[in-house]
Every structure is written in structure tokens, then in C-alpha cells.
């Protein structure tokens, strides 16, 4: 039976990145045997979750070398595993480390690599968006193995209650592959939910006019359950908020129940990261702004004033005024 492998990123505490769970859920539907690969401190503790989401086998190593050094050790271990087991397809999420490893593995093995996929419909077929997200194309993948880098939130993660067989990976990493050392690790402080997992996302664009007005988004988010704040690239580039806030083609992909776009024009590069939201509310002073073409509810007006009124109304309904 052909094998599909999912590369999973994990925290030291053994928490699996949700992108790996999304990929496992998709891999289960491809008519193949599904396995996961997880490397670095926390890997053993992740095996249960990976089995729960569909991996029948988990190749793992808790060796510090995978956490201490960037990409090269993981590429080496994966290369050995691929040579030994010949999986048909390897799925990686478009995360920083995974991207790096997938590219190196492709160069090392000569495997076909498709990046920026938003769908995987078979063992030789994946989908991606082109022309700024306005066209979808079906891509036929040749050779073996195929490596596919998939955008986060392309699939919903669903547990199935399985249990995985654990296979320990022997890590023999030579010194020449211990060159790029991770000097420090910083966890971003997050008062609320993760941007990618939040049920409500409030995003701001240049129409907010000044960085200080972003505080209105924080105040509104603080009043709502399961709500996170995002931004367009224009304001990230202007230094108003960190890159971690960016939603879109070169930022994060979000699929919340409600997306509120405040002072955002609706450029295709932004839409590609948020148009999967169930409901889109747009606030823009220009009634012809492209964001209104995807909005379920549009408010034509000054974003700062509308947000202030919205905050007051939510507070009133919560009995906070
Ligand atoms: C290769 C590439 C990749 C890119 N990747 C991304 C990406 O990942 N994410 C992303 O967001 N962009 C991305 N961009 C940039 C994108 O093309 C747009 O430039 C950007 O999304 C615009 O951001 P904005 O809507 O904040 O600003 P603008 O386009 O300047 O829009 C501001 C909007 O605010 C409205 N406005 C002004 N004043 C007010 C007011 N007082 N009240 C209410 N509304 C007001 C205006 O009518 C306007 O519609 C990318 C571009 C390229 C070329």
C-alpha cells in the first residue's frame, strides 16, 4: 500500500502544531497508509495525538539535536527514512522550519516539491491558487516521492481515535550538519487565542490611519470570546504591528467564524488569507472598496468611529457601562 507521511512540528511540551493535525486528517482520505514524522524534544509526548488524528505509525526522536540545530539534522534523518521506506508523498505545513526542511529534502533527494498548496486531492495531484488568489489550478505531480507544502487552514482537523505504532529514529548527525545553531527561542506573549485558531478575527488596515488606533481592535477583542487581532501587510510594513499579525498571501491564513475588516481595501493578496471566513464584516469609508465584494455585511463609514461605537454597544450588552 502506498504511504503518505506528514511532518509534524512539536513544542518541547509535546503539543503538536495544529497544521500537522490538518494534514493528517487530509492524508487519511487519500487511500494510503498514513505515518507521521516528529523530531526533537517533545516528540514522544506527541505520538498519542498523532495516532488520534490518523497516523498508523509515528517515526520519532526526542534528540536535542533537532531542537538545537536548524533544518540540517531533520533533513538528514528524513532523507534516511525516505531511502529506507520509500513513501509516495510527504506533506509539510507551510511553517518556517517545515519549509526549510522540505526544500532541503527536495534538493537532497531530487523529489518533486510543490509549495503553497491549498488542496491535495490524490497521491499525484494538488491544488494551488495563482494570480493573487483569483484562479485555482490543479497540479499533477510526477516522480517519487512527492513533497507538498500545504498552507495552514487548508483542511479542518478531525480526530478519529486511532493509536499509532511508535518507531524510534536513530539520529546519527555528523558535526558538519550541526552548523546553524538556534541561539534562543522566544514564545510570543499571547493574551488571547492564536490568530489562526480564533473563532473571531478583527483585522485592521491602513484605513485605521494611525498605529495608536490599533488599540481599538485590542479593546474590542478583549470584550469578545475567542477573538484575535490581525492586520494587512501595509500596516505591518509600516511598523504599526509585528509581522505575526499579517494575514494574506505572505502572512497567515485564517478561517474564523467571523472576520471583521476595519479600514482594509480588500487586495487579492489579503483576501487569499481570509476569504474562507464564514462571515465577513467590512468597515470602509469608500463604498466602492473591493472588500465589500466578499463581505456579508458592509458598513460604509469611518473605521475609528464605527469601532468606538461597536465597543460601546458590546459593553452595553454585556452590562459593562
Ligand atoms: C507579492 C505580494 C504579497 C502581498 N502579501 C500580502 C499579504 O500577505 N497580506 C496583505 O494584507 N497584503 C499583502 N500584499 C499587499 C496588498 O497588495 C495590499 O497592498 C495591502 O493588503 C493593502 O493593505 P490595506 O488594505 O491596509 O491598505 P490600502 O490598500 O491602502 O487600503 C486602505 C483602505 O482603508 C480605507 N480607509 C481610509 N480611511 C479610512 C477610514 N477613516 N475609515 C475606514 N476606511 C478607511 C480606504 O478606503 C482603503 O480601502 C502583498 C502584495 C504583494 C505584491
- 285 within ligand 1 shell (Cβ under 6 A): yes
Mutate to test the pocket of ligand 1, among 153, 206, 299 (most ligand atoms within 8 A of CB): 206
Give distance in angstroms: CA of 277 to centre of ligand 1: 18
DSSP label of 179: -
Is residue 80 classed as helix, strand or coil in its secondary structure? helix
CA-closest residue to ligand 1 atom 9: 248
User: What DSSP string describes 4-50?
Assistant: EEEEE-B-TT-PBPHHHHHHHHHHGGGTSEEEEEEESTTHHHHHHHH
Is residue 73 reached through a cis peptide bond, with omega within 30 degrees of 0 on the bond before it?
A: no
- H/E stretch holding 146 reads strand 146-150
Question: What pLDDT, on the 0 to 100 scale, is given for residue 194?
Answer: 87
Give distance in angstroms: CA of 205 to centre of ligand 1: 6
Question: What pLDDT, on the 0 to 100 scale, is given for residue 198?
Answer: 94
pLDDT per residue of the chain (321 residues) written in tens, 0 to 9: 999 999 999 999 999 999 999 999 999 999 999 999 999 999 999 999 999 999 999 999 999 999 999 999 999 999 999 999 999 999 999 988 999 999 999 999 999 999 999 999 999 999 998 876 778 999 999 999 999 999 988 999 999 999 999 999 998 899 999 999 999 877 665 567 889 889 999 999 999 999 999 999 999 999 999 999 999 999 999 999 998 899 998 888 899 999 999 999 999 999 989 999 999 999 999 999 999 999 999 999 999 999 999 999 999 998 887
Question: What pLDDT, on the 0 to 100 scale, is given for residue 189?
Answer: 59
Give distance in angstroms: CA of 196 to centre of ligand 1: 20
- 209 within ligand 1 shell (Cβ under 6 A): yes
Question: What pLDDT, on the 0 to 100 scale, is given for residue 64?
Answer: 96
CA-closest residue to ligand 1 atom 19: 234
CATH number of the 3-177 domain = 3.40.50.620
Residues carrying CATH 3.40.50.1220, the chain: 200-317
Q: Residue 272 in contact with residue 259, Cβ under 8 Å?
A: no
Residues carrying CATH 3.40.50.620, the chain: 3-177
CATH number of the 200-317 domain = 3.40.50.1220
Amino acid at each position: 500500500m502506498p504511504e503518505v507521511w506528514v511532518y509534524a512540528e512539536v513544542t518541547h511540551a509535546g503539543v503538536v502544531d495544529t497544521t500537522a493535525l490538518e494534514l493528517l486528517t487530509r492524508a487519511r482520505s487519500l487511500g494510503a497508509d498514513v505515518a507521521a514524522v516528529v523530531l526533537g524534544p517533545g516528540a514522544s509526548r506527541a505520538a498519542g495525538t498523532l495516532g488520534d488524528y490518523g497516523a498508523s505509525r509515528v517515526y520519532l526522536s526526542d534528540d536535542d539535536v533537532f531542537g538545537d540545530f536548524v533544518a540540517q539534522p531533520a533533513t538528514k534523518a528524513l532523507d534516511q527514512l525516505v531511502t529506507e521506506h520509500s513513501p509516495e508523498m510527504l506533506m509539510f505545513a507551510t511553517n518556517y522550519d517545515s519549509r526549510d526542511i522540505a526544500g532541503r529534502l527536495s534538493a537532497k533527494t531530487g523529489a518533486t516539491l510543490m509549495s503553497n498548496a491549498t488542496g491535495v486531492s490524490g497521491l499525484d495531484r494538488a491544488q494551488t491558487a495563482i494570480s493573487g488568489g483569483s484562479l485555482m489550478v490543479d497540479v499533477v505531480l510526477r516522480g517519487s516521492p512527492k513533497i507538498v507544502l500545504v498552507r495552514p487552514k487548508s483542511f479542518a482537523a478531525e480526530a478519529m481515535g486511532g493509536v499509532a505504532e511508535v518507531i524510534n529514529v536513530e539520529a546519527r548527525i555528523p558535526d558538519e550538519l550541526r552548523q546553524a545553531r538556534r541561539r534562543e527561542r522566544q514564545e510570543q506573549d499571547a493574551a488571547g487565542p492564536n490568530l489562526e485558531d480564533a473563532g473571531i478575527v478583527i483585522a485592521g488596515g491602513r484605513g485605521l490611519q494611525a498605529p495608536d488606533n490599533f488599540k481599538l481592535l485590542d479593546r474590542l477583542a478583549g470584550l469578545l470570546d475567542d477573538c484575535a487581532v490581525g492586520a494587512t501587510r501595509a500596516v505591518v510594513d509600516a511598523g504599526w504591528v509585528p509581522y505575526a499579525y499579517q494575514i494574506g498571501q505572505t502572512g497567515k491564513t485564517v478561517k474564523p467564524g467571523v472576520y471583521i475588516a476595519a479600514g482594509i481595501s480588500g487586495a487579492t493578496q489579503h483576501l487569499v488569507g481570509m476569504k474562507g471566513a464564514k462571515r465577513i464584516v467590512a468597515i470602509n469609508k469608500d463604498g466602492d472598496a473591493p472588500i465589500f465584494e466578499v463581505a456579508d455585511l458592509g458598513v460604509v463609514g469611518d473605521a475609528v468611529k464605527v469601532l468606538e461605537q461597536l465597543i460601546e454597544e458590546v459593553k452595553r450588552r454585556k452590562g459593562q457601562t
